[in-house]
Structure 1
Amino acid sequence: MNKFSKTVATSVLGFAILFSSFAPATGFAADVEPSNWTREDVSKIVQNKDNTAPEINTEDLEQIAPDYHIWDTWPLRNKDGSIATLNGYKVIFSLTAPSDVLPGKRHDIAEIRYFVSKNGKDWKLGGTVFNEEQLGSRQWAGSAMIEDGEINFFYTATGRKGEEQLTYEQRLVKASADVDASSKGIEFNNWSDHEVILEPDGEYYQTMEQSKQGDIAYAFRDPWFFEDPKSGEEYILFEGNSGGTPAERSVEQEHIGSEDFATVDDVPEESKLFNGNIGIAKAENDEYTEFEIMPPLMEANSLNQELERPHIVTKGNKYYLFTDTHKNKFAPGTDGPDGLYGFVSDSLTSNYEPLNDSGLVVANPENEPYQTYSWMVMPNGTVISFANFYDLNGVTIDELGQQSEQFQFNHFGGTLAPSLKLSIHKDETKILKEMDAGVFK
């Protein structure tokens, strides 16, 4: 298959981490065979009690930082992917914006703040993570790993600092700092320079310039550090789009599914505009500032536009790959809920297959289709997320911006959602129970 006809289809689910490297693709790239998540896979989605989250009681939602909206959240991890504990504290990081900002505008001014907890449940605001040296006009999601008392922080620099008009350029950035843990809490000091570690190459991963030639949107974000327990090699996973322009792409059978399914699936021409993928790059130095960019782990060509916040959990010698996406990111002729999706493989870089046949792991309930988002699976099977929009009474996410500002504020959670406990066994998953909000146990 050529680089424009590769697609997403497999998967992973379990325990893990990730972070990696950037440099011209070399012989290592030959070991990567992108998996395809296909239209046929998604046609098998059926929501049931095993994959549908309970409806949350919004009256019980606690604003852990009342002055801020809180959304995409991730924990401080050890290098092996386990959750770090520093002087008895656990640490989480979240995208934040002042709570008086219209929820739909929060992405335009996002800053990363951190929270600490002794019990992994009750979170106290620590402050902003960075000094004034961070890159981008705002910072989007990433990951963080502690090694030898130093935090290695990976994030998405979106736009350029000081830009007069907001842009959506996205680059992956790394910075390090000393971690000071005391009875008073956690502080990050002596930050290194913030260095761009990855930008799209235009071949495997679409550039912003290519995207502007007729595509729907552009993505190159969400760096997630992962140390492969089998090889000890270190990687960064990230969200991207398959390279090239719409004129260079076509709908191929591997995007659709089996030969039999391809004969009955009438694929609209505009489906080729949907080119989401999950990228990977391999670390080339101990400072995690140089990376070899590699072919994608997975592609969802002609199926889905955004495979957000990819991460891996390892269990039973298998790799479980998870990603989040929205209902309105699926291509014409396909349908899937806002949800957490997953794939499994015996290999890090190839042969991913959808969990539960379709890939769906956690969906919002059908009568509350947007209640939570940005799910992330912890090594122990706990799934965290944030409270998104609820009680919309039939208003779709695309129609939300047409509602009054007060309506939008009244129906946005903007805080940690109830966690879920997930069972992961071979190629199947099951939601076991709902837990308290923000629980990492």
Structure 2
Amino acid sequence: MNLRINPRRTVATLTAAAAVVTGVVLTGGAASSTPGVDHPAETPTDHTGQAYPVESSYTMKWTREDVQRIMSQHNDPTAGPGENSLSDQVSMPDIPSDFPAMKDENGDPVWVWDTWPMTDEHGNQYSYKGWDVIFSLTADSKAGYTFDDRHVNARIGYWFRKKNRADDQWIYGGNVFGDRTPAHKAEWSGSTRIYPDGTIKLFYTDLDFADRNKPKAVIAMSEGRINADQDGVSFHGLDETTPLLEPDGVRYQNVEQNAYFNFRDPFTFEDPAQPGKTFMVFEGNTAGQKGDYQCQQSDLGDSGETPEDVTARGANHQMANIGLAVAENDDLTEWRYLDPILSANCVNDQTERPQFVIEKVNGEWQYYLYTISHAFTYAAGLRGPDGVYGFVGDGIRSDFKPLNGSGLALGNPSNLNYSPTDDRKNTRQYQSYSHYVMPDGLVESFIDNVDGRRGGTLAPTVRIDVEGTTSVVDRNVGDDGLLPYGFIPTNRSAGGPEVTTP
């Protein structure tokens, strides 16, 4: 099947959703006894969307008040045990428990999680000589370690299939770096840039677990070339790794400050307002010794709490940010840190796989910043599902407006009225993760746990319709909103004419 998604906007649905959001913001949410929410905000933090100079020190704060709106606007407090309490506007459809596995040439399952396509500097997704290509964190399902131990054994693998054939199986090409990564290291996710001459620059996170108590994280790059013929795709020249960035302990927390620091997931892009300049966003944590930070009123917004109380509850251990760096040369081998563009101090500890989707709206560039986060990484007193969180502003560095008031754009079916460990939870609360937002609002991810069945395979793709600061999960595509498993279409071609398969 050749599946094409036509660009459109569900304007009526989006307008209705916006009215709901506006109504709650203006009138205030009713007081809730839901676990994790003490004082739903009555007035919104005044995020303006205003852009600031990229070299400035301005950092948008994703506040506790913002996140409280998940419960006051998108949670049904009457949802019973096992039910999904999230609104349809932000809830991912249920993934069937009989999902297929991705396999190698011998028919053995390959565990797959964080996945991304080949892109150019503007986020367009490329096929090469008629082959679609994706990159995934992979692990050997037969190696003897558990599914949850796969992270320290991760290798970046690649898959290919003929262009935009949604029903074709992805063909496993193996590890992009072969066997050159030593056993005490892991390769974590990033992004892959393709150039007109077939050059590939693979940005990723180089993890060293020689000391499990003090893992070392380095954002790195390897350069090589892609090749394709009638039999498939291969890569050559990815023989060396160039270290690019290590956490400095000044802007971005390092392992000496916190053994559980987050520093990973490089995504590179060009700003259309600054042609020729290449930027990188990545996941980080606010620098400083773990637990030293004192929560500020600006971290809370109008949450109905005091900084002292929030700090005393341990929220100062959640210190996520989205970092920014700028390339200092055309080879993209030298980078300079800039201040974070978003902080979630006292709100959340992980803002994984950040990325920009930059679109022209009514003649003006709009910068949509997406990240993913977990239910379990929220600070004390806050609740939210595993899923995609989005923000929009007028530039790379902006006072970003959270989508739907809270930032939540796509969440796993969850019951936020109960603790994630409560027997009354929704059994699909961890059904998918590591989402990546593609052109036209398509979102791919991997299956983690559906009804107790572990995944490690690509999930059905879904779509979110976005207009301004409002997003809606589109249930008019595919099977009640679920597109094919691993549907990662391309919108650009490289390498010349398509090769003909036998």
TM-score by length of 1: 0.85
Equivalent position to 2:344, from 300, 324, 327:
300
3-state DSSP of counterpart to 1:306? coil
Matches within 5 A, 1:373-392: 373-392=433-452
Q: Is residue 53 of structure 1 aligned with residue 101 of structure 2?
A: no
Q: Is residue 88 of structure 1 aligned with residue 130 of structure 2?
A: yes
- C-alpha change, 1:167 and 1:96, in structure 2 (3 Å) is farther
Equivalent position to 2:68, from 23, 40, 43:
43
Q: Is residue 137 of structure 1 aligned with residue 190 of structure 2?
A: no
User: Contact 1:9 / 1:352 at 8 angstroms: preserved in 2?
Assistant: no
- Rounded Cα–Cα distance in structure 1 between residues aligned with 2:311 and 2:385: 20
String of CA shifts for 1:251-288, please: whole Å, max 9, x gaps: 10111013x73469952521111101110100111111
Equivalent position to 1:152, from 183, 201, 204:
201
Amino acid at match of 1:421: R
1:395 alignment partner in structure 2: none
Higher relative contact order (CA 8 A, sep 6+): 1
In the TM superposition, residue 62 of structure 1 has moved relative to its aligned partner by: 3.7
User: Contact 1:224 / 1:310 at 8 angstroms: preserved in 2?
Assistant: yes
Equivalent position to 1:310, from 354, 362, 378:
354
User: Contact 1:278 / 1:298 at 8 angstroms: preserved in 2?
Assistant: yes
1:396 alignment partner in structure 2: none
User: Contact 1:159 / 1:166 at 8 angstroms: preserved in 2?
Assistant: no
124-133 vs 233-242, which deviates more?
124-133
- C-alpha change, 1:202 and 1:328, in structure 2 (3 Å) is same
String of CA shifts for 1:49-103, please: whole Å, max 9, x gaps: 1110111112133434443111110111123210011001111000111113311
- Rounded Cα–Cα distance in structure 1 between residues aligned with 2:470 and 2:243: 38
1:194 alignment partner in structure 2: 241
Equivalent position to 1:226, from 259, 266, 269:
269
Matches within 5 A, 1:309-388: 309-315=353-359, 316=361, 317-366=365-414, 367=426, 368-388=428-448
1:19 alignment partner in structure 2: none
- Rounded Cα–Cα distance in structure 1 between residues aligned with 2:152 and 2:405: 37
- Rounded Cα–Cα distance in structure 1 between residues aligned with 2:202 and 2:231: 22
> Is there any run of 5+ residues in structure 2 with no aligned partner, and where?
1-44, 75-85, 415-425, 475-480, 490-502
- Rounded Cα–Cα distance in structure 2 between residues aligned with 1:182 and 1:281: 37
User: Contact 2:296 / 2:307 at 8 angstroms: preserved in 1?
Assistant: no
Q: Is residue 414 of structure 1 aligned with residue 461 of structure 2?
A: no
In the TM superposition, residue 390 of structure 1 has moved relative to its aligned partner by: 1.9
String of CA shifts for 1:132-165, please: whole Å, max 9, x gaps: 44587110111100113100000101116xx375
- C-alpha change, 1:321 and 1:226, in structure 2 (3 Å) is same
- Rounded Cα–Cα distance in structure 1 between residues aligned with 2:47 and 2:247: 23
- Rounded Cα–Cα distance in structure 2 between residues aligned with 1:422 and 1:113: 28
> Is there any run of 5+ residues in structure 1 with no aligned partner, and where?
1-7, 13-27, 393-410
1:406 alignment partner in structure 2: none
Amino acid at match of 1:189: H
User: Contact 1:139 / 1:157 at 8 angstroms: preserved in 2?
Assistant: yes
29-38 vs 342-351, which deviates more?
29-38
Q: Is residue 110 of structure 1 aligned with residue 154 of structure 2?
A: yes
String of CA shifts for 1:407-441, please: whole Å, max 9, x gaps: xxxx2111000000111111111111221111124
In the TM superposition, residue 178 of structure 1 has moved relative to its aligned partner by: 1.5
User: Contact 1:141 / 1:155 at 8 angstroms: preserved in 2?
Assistant: yes
- Rounded Cα–Cα distance in structure 2 between residues aligned with 1:134 and 1:184: 27
- Rounded Cα–Cα distance in structure 1 between residues aligned with 2:356 and 2:103: 27
Equivalent position to 2:256, from 209, 223, 227:
209
1:251 alignment partner in structure 2: 295
- C-alpha change, 1:200 and 1:295, in structure 2 (3 Å) is same
3-state DSSP of counterpart to 1:356? helix
- Rounded Cα–Cα distance in structure 1 between residues aligned with 2:261 and 2:48: 23
User: Contact 1:35 / 1:350 at 8 angstroms: preserved in 2?
Assistant: yes
Amino acid at match of 1:218: F
54-63 vs 366-375, which deviates more?
54-63
Equivalent position to 1:267, from 276, 287, 310:
310
2:486 alignment partner in structure 1: 438
User: Contact 1:242 / 1:276 at 8 angstroms: preserved in 2?
Assistant: yes
Equivalent position to 1:31, from 34, 42, 56:
56
For these two proteins, the number of residue pairs brought into alignment is 394
- Rounded Cα–Cα distance in structure 2 between residues aligned with 1:51 and 1:99: 33
Percent of aligned pairs with the same amino acid: 35
3-state DSSP of counterpart to 2:218? strand
User: Contact 2:176 / 2:238 at 8 angstroms: preserved in 1?
Assistant: no
TM-score by length of 2: 0.75
Amino acid at match of 2:199: E
- Rounded Cα–Cα distance in structure 2 between residues aligned with 1:177 and 1:346: 35
User: Contact 1:418 / 1:435 at 8 angstroms: preserved in 2?
Assistant: yes
- Rounded Cα–Cα distance in structure 2 between residues aligned with 1:265 and 1:119: 56
Amino acid at match of 1:35: M
In the TM superposition, residue 201 of structure 1 has moved relative to its aligned partner by: 1.2
- C-alpha change, 1:11 and 1:239, in structure 2 (3 Å) is farther
- Rounded Cα–Cα distance in structure 1 between residues aligned with 2:229 and 2:137: 25
In the TM superposition, residue 31 of structure 1 has moved relative to its aligned partner by: 2.4
- Rounded Cα–Cα distance in structure 1 between residues aligned with 2:187 and 2:48: 28
For the pair shown, which has the larger CA radius of gyration, 1 or 2?
2
Amino acid at match of 1:228: D
String of CA shifts for 1:274-329, please: whole Å, max 9, x gaps: 10111010011111110110100100000101111111111221111111111000
